Copies of this chain bind each other. A is one copy, B any other.
Amino acid sequence: MFKEEIKVIDCTVRDGGLMNKWQFSETFVKNVYNALADAGVDYMEIGYLSSKDAFDAKVYGPWKFCHEKDLKKVIGDKEKRIKLSAMADIGRIELEDIPLAADSSLDMIRIACYVHQVDKAIALAHHCQEKGYEVTINLMAVSTVGLRELNECLEDLNKSKVPVIYLVDSFGAFYSEDIDTLAQKYIERLPGKTIGAHFHNNQQLAFANTISAIINGVNYLDATLYGIGRGAGNCPLELLLSFLKNPKFKVRPVVKCIEEEIFPWSQKIDWGYSIPYMVTGTMNQHPRTAMALMESEDKDKVLDYYDSICNGGATS
């Protein structure tokens, strides 16, 4: 499906970093950067934009902060090869810690927020726009939001100057029918704005739901190398680029980078489809209990986990 408006945003370092506290080496990030540029991907989300005081730099790697000096190391002396994005969480970044876009290697700042934080997110987004950045607001966990609340939130976003609003399936709970319904609602209620999609793979539906989003007119598409990301992971970039017929996209650099950089990480951290993540997805819950199980010695005791989530004990 060739649609010129489509932009692909790779979140490998940002979302994958949720699994290793952003402890990716400079070489890893450089190689991902070059692979994404070679593949024709539109944006690389290279991490979170956080204030120094918000997290302990001894625990969290540089991509939790995205300081300009670290971005510069990746880009090197040559011209920047791909637009860079960073995600900002409400309350984790002070306004004065955001440089002017003219002084930064970042092109885009994406504000992640829950529905109840939307006013703060709009204020932060407008601030970033004034400093010269492209911005998006990524409205998380909408699978748990009531209809009235969602409508009000979309009304606020509609009045804002933020040009790109994301439909996010934080819990991997949505079926394609949900994507049809919600994408159509976002497009209807946010006239003139671009809609984005960020989906998780708890039910092996992140790629399929991204296709549904495309069919419904969503044009900003998130993916990661080999699906790396929190818990069940994300829409795999190699599948998405294979599906998109735009000749600017190339799969080979992605396959090369997966072999060289992602396979070694797949030996050290554990993302992707598994029964605990499937359970939280189908139950529309945050994956934190599943992640705790997967990091424990009891990771294969999935029946006990299923019972604890479904009903606090076995009944059948």
Chain A interface (Cβ within 8 Å of chain B)? 175-177, 201, 203-209, 211-212, 215, 226, 236, 238-239, 242-243, 250-253, 255-256, 258-259, 263, 272-273, 275, 278-279, 282, 300-303, 306-307, 310, 314, 316
CB of A128 to closest CB in B, whole Å: 34
Q: Choose among B176, B243, B272, B301 the residue that contacts A211 (Cβ–Cβ < 8 A).
A: B176
Q: Does A205 contact B208, Cβ atoms closer than 8 Å?
A: yes
Q: Does B203 contact A300, Cβ atoms closer than 8 Å?
A: no
Which residue of chain B has its CB nearest to the CB of A205? B208
Given contacts A242-B282, A243-B175, A282-B242, contact A203 B207 (CB under 8 A): yes
Counted per complex, copies of this chain come to 2
Alpha-carbon gap, A272 to B272, bound state (A): 11
Q: Choose among B201, B236, B238, B306 the residue that contacts A252 (Cβ–Cβ < 8 A).
A: B306
Which residue of chain B has its CB nearest to the CB of A304? B259
Q: Which residues of B contact A272 (CB under 8 A)?
A: 273
Q: Which residues of B contact A301 (CB under 8 A)?
A: 259
Given contacts A175-B211, A256-B303, A259-B301, contact A250 B316 (CB under 8 A): yes
Q: Which residues of B contact A176 (CB under 8 A)?
A: 176, 208, 211-212
Given contacts A207-B205, A256-B303, contact A278 B316 (CB under 8 A): no
Alpha-carbon gap, A188 to B203, bound state (A): 31
CB of A134 to closest CB in B, whole Å: 29
CB of A58 to closest CB in B, whole Å: 33
Which residue of chain B has its CB nearest to the CB of A264? B300
Given contacts A255-B275, A316-B250, contact A239 B303 (CB under 8 A): no
Q: Does B302 contact A255, Cβ atoms closer than 8 Å?
A: yes
Q: Does A239 contact B278, Cβ atoms closer than 8 Å?
A: yes
Which residue of chain B has its CB nearest to the CB of A263? B300
CB of A174 to closest CB in B, whole Å: 11
Q: Which residues of B contact A258 (CB under 8 A)?
A: 275, 302
Alpha-carbon gap, A275 to B207, bound state (A): 15
